[in-house]
Structures are given as C-alpha cells and as structure tokens.
Chains A and B, each alone.
Chain A
Amino acid sequence: MVTMAIAKQTLEDMLRRKILLILLIVALGMIALGPSVGFLSPRESSVVLRSMGLAVILIAGLLITILSGIQVIPTEVERRTIYTVLSKPVQRYEFVLGKFLGGIFTVFVMIAAMGIVFLGVLAWQERHFAPDMLKGVLLTFFQMMLLGAMAIFFSTFATPVVNFFLSFSLFIVGNMSAVTESLTSNKNPVTRILASIVHFLIPNFGNFNIQNKLIHPEVTISNETVFIVQNIVYAIIYSAVLLILAILVFDRREV
C-alpha cells in the first residue's frame, strides 16, 4: 500500500513535468511525421519509417528515463517533502521502491504512447499491422527499466548533474558490449583486466538492441523468443541488484 501510494504520487508528479511532456510531444510528432521522410529513400521508405520510429522511441525513452530517474529522489530532498514522508511509518526501502516504480510507470506510459502512435503510423502507411515492432518497443522499455534502476542507485549518493553524466556515459559504454567483450581477450593484460571489469560490471545495454533485425528481415536471431525472455530476465535481475544497492545506501543516508 505504502510503496504503491508513493509510486502513484511519483507518476502523477512526473506526468506533469514540462520537460518530459515536451520530449514526449516532440517524439510523437517525429513518429507521426515519419512517412513524410520516406521520400528521402523511396525504395526503402518502409525501412526508413521503421528505423526512424524505433530510433525516436529509443532516444526519447533514454532522455525521459534519465531525466526522471535522476530527479525522483533528489527532488523530494530539495523540496523537503521527504521530511513529511519519511517521518511517517514508511520504511526507506518502501520509499526507494515507490520512487523507482513511479519513475518506471512514467517511462512505461510514455514509451507505450510512442509505441502505439508508431504502430498506428506503420499500419496506416503499410496497410497492415506489424506486431514484430512490439518486440523492439518492449525491449526498449526493459532496457530503460535497467537504466532507470541505475539512475535511481546513483541518485542515492550523487547530485543530479553528476548522475546525468554518469548514467548517460554508462549507457553508451553498456551499448558497446560487443567492443568491450572483444577487448577481454586482448593481449595486453591491463587492457584485458580493465575490459573485463567494464564488461562484467556495466549492464549490457547493447543486447536489447534488436532494431537491426526488426528493420532488416534478412537478419535473423536464432531462437528469438528465448533471446527476448533472456534479456527481460537479465533486466529484472540486474535492476533488482541495483535497487538493493540503492536501498542499502539510502538506508544510511541522512535527509
């Protein structure tokens, strides 16, 4: 009850943030205008539309997740609303979980809105529904859930500005998992050790990107369902670990 009350309050608060709403409106506008960009490559207008739609959802989702993830806890401290919340019979873990869930519900609502418009535009343009695209939207959401958990973890000890750059840069590095993996077998021992640490410690965000496969039907993934389920389970477990760490840090934090 307490966690969900905090999550609901956070969702309502986040859905009123102008910056998040502007991002959503711009993203929805770009997705809706997607068909008009098809003229750039008439033969592959479908590819352009799909690439652009999935890319817009990813970039807007990324910004919405980071901006909400870095704000949800520091805003409570800054506005001092945290005093009236934590002086009530609220466990600190309930607070952190409530804030995380509220942030993730926000991201879900916004990605879902973009996904619905994207699928609608695609169906209107191609005269048939493309359920495959849902997989891309779904994996983007779980990728963002993992990123959100990371931003919440950092927000328990870092300032929002530091958190923004930390979360953003780790997202970029985590998306280059193929590069860091190849460096783990480098001949140079220092490079090898550093690459191993980076590869195993930073979430593997790159694994969630199946846009290439969805855009180009000739690219295949062996056992796609298992791949998607594995990534979702990975996102849930990694997020849980990050939230446990966030709770441990926040439990000792003075507000």
Chain B
Amino acid sequence: MAAAISIKGLTKKYLDVWNKTEITAVDNLNLEVEEGEVFGFLGRNGAGKTTTIKMLLGLIFPTEGEASVLGKPLGDIEAKAQVSYLPENPYFYDNMSGWDVLDFYGRLFRIGEPERSKRIQKVLEDVRLDPKAWKRPLRGYSKGMMQRIGIAQALINDPKLLFLDEPTSGLDPIAHAELRDIIVNVGKQGKTVFLSSHQLPDVEMVCSRVSIIHRGKLLAMGPISELTAGEKVEIQAEGIQNGVLEKLQSLTGAVEQSQGRIRIPATDADKVSDVIDIVRGAKGKIISVIPHKRTLEEVFVDTVLKAGGD
C-alpha cells in the first residue's frame, strides 16, 4: 500500500532571539502513514505534534529533512485539495452561520454549486448538528457544536487524508462519544486519518497504529496490539511445598499464597520457563499462565518516563 504521509529526517528548529539559543521542536523525525490507516500521533503538550502537522500542511517550513503528503511535496496545492485539517481548539468566523462557514470553505476547495450545497447538507447531517442551528451565527454555538462544525469543514472536500488535532478535547462525555464515533466512521470509509490526541482510550479504540514523540523525537511506533502486548505474565500454581516459595519470591519479586494455591501477579515474560521448572521440580501443578496486556496509557507513560519525561 502507498504511503499517505512519508517523513524523513524532519527537523524544526526555532531561534530564541532573546536568549540566543536554538530550540528544537521536532528532531529528525521519521515515519510513514499508509493510505487508509487511522494513525495515532501521541505526545505530551509541547512534544512537537502540532509543529509536525503544521509542517505537513505547509503552514511552517522544516529546517531540515523532507516529507511528502499523498505523494506530493509539502504545500502542494493538488495534495491540499485532498487533505483537510481540524486544528486544536478551532476558531471560525463567528459572525457567520454554520452553513455560511461551510459555504466559505467549500469555495476555497473550488466546489461549485449545486454540489457545494449538497455537500454542506450531507456533512452537517453526518456530524449530527441540529438543523435548527445551521443558519444561526457561530457565536451562539456551544463547544461541542463548534467542534462538529470543525469536523464538518474537514469533511466538506471528501478528503483522502484528515489531520485531526485534539478533536475531542474539552467536550462533555456525550459529545465526546459522538465525535469519536464520527471519527470511527471516517476511518471505516477508507480515509487516512492522522490523529493527534491526549485521549488515549479514544486512540486505542480508533487507531490501528500509533507513534509516540517526546521533545520532538520519535520514541516508539507500531501497531497498538504490538505496543501493548504483555511483557508481564501472571502465573498460578498449586501443590507446592513451602520451601520453594522463597525461591520463587527471589526470582519473581512477589508471590501471593492462599488456600494451597500460589499466585505470581506479574513476572517478566523471560522468567516464565524458570518459574515453571521450579514449580514442576517441587511436584507442583501449573494452573494458568496469563500474559498481561498493557493499556496504551501504560505504554505511553512508561515510554515517556524512560526517555526522561518528568
């Protein structure tokens, strides 16, 4: 499958004129996003996520490295016609109505009438915005309604690739769930989604692959199933003589005992065969060996902390 986004050695440095220092916002970033993939782009505040997205959209320029979007160089107008962007905390012209804003953005995509009106109607229905609000000025919209308009303007051109920057932040639980469902549906339509978010349960639910960046550097990337695959294993056994418990404890760290059974809640995967050997040697019986799957949040926190995040 072709790459919707290809990034090679992308670097962005800013000069702090007052302190005469250079700040590296994105540092030698390499990644590829395949067509039709919903890709999660994770990182703490200030990690370089928005800077990367802005470079990919041609809003700011890389200091070093190269990248392509839908096979075209950054800022290419043909590529932009098939791309859309929902910025974090988007602001639209609040004197305009939801319909008028979408009409304006439709014109920027050079969509003529009557096609433009048809698409506006469709996307407003897709994002489930109350029809009574369609012709009302945006200044009277709630945060959730504004975010729906944000998604709608990102869908008006029926894009191949969507950049969504924190699309569900600050929403109430119902609006949050509805917008997450909309993103899931967008993914099901075969569109490529580049999703930057702090809502890790959402990312886990929506994305097939994620990357984690910290201080502009890529720390981890891969399918969620691989990143969250268990490094720890829970083992239960029975019929073990007391003398062996100390041996198991020194090998695995913690052993719980009750009603003739022992439970080792989390041992490293590479120690499993040693534990089994000890249990069998002591005439014990292994009841279960359960690999622990980590949550994406645990993976994210571990990865960032290991890289020196505080």
Contacts and interface: CB of A to CB of B under 8 A. Distances in A.
Interface residues of A, number: 22
A85 B92 CA distance: 10
Interface of A: 1-2, 5-6, 9, 12-13, 16, 79-81, 83-91, 254-255
Contacts of A86: 57-59
A13 B93 CA distance: 8
B119 to A, nearest CB: 14
A80 B87 contact: yes
Nearest to B103: A5
A255 B60 contact: yes
A105 B240 CA distance: 89
B109 A88 contact: yes
A88 B80 contact: yes
B85 A83 contact: yes
Interface string B20-64: 000000000000000000000000000000000010011111000
Contact of B107 (A5, A79, A83, A91): A5
Given A13-B93, A83-B85, A88 B58 contact: no
A91 B110 contact: no
Interface in B107-121: 107-110
Nearest to B156: A88
A16 B96 CA distance: 11
A12 B85 CA distance: 24
Interface string B92-103: 110110000000
A91 B58 CA distance: 11
Contacts of A2: 107-108, 110
Given A5-B107, A84-B153, A91 B77 contact: yes
A88 B81 CA distance: 6
A93 to B, nearest CB: 12
A105 to B, nearest CB: 16
A124 to B, nearest CB: 35
A199 to B, nearest CB: 34
Contacts of A89: 77-78, 80-81, 108-110
Contacts of B163: 87
Given A12-B95, A13-B93, A81-B93, A87 B57 contact: yes
Contacts of A91: 77
Contacts of B87: 80, 83-84
Nearest to B110: A1
A139 B176 CA distance: 56
Contacts of A6: 108
B60 A87 contact: no
B63 to A, nearest CB: 11
Contact of B80 (A1, A9, A16, A87): A87
Contacts of B157: 88
Nearest to A9: B104
A175 to B, nearest CB: 35
A9 B157 CA distance: 19
Given A81-B91, A81-B92, A5 B77 contact: no
23 contacts: A1-B110, A2-B107, A2-B108, A12-B96, A16-B95, A80-B90, A80-B91, A81-B93, A83-B90, A84-B85, A84-B92, A84-B105, A84-B153, A86-B57, A87-B58, A87-B80, A87-B85, A88-B108, A88-B109, A89-B80, A91-B77, A255-B59, A255-B60
Given A87-B84, A89-B109, 4 more contacts: A5-B108, A80-B89, A84-B85, A88-B109
Nearest to B76: A89
Contact of B108 (A85, A254, A255): A85
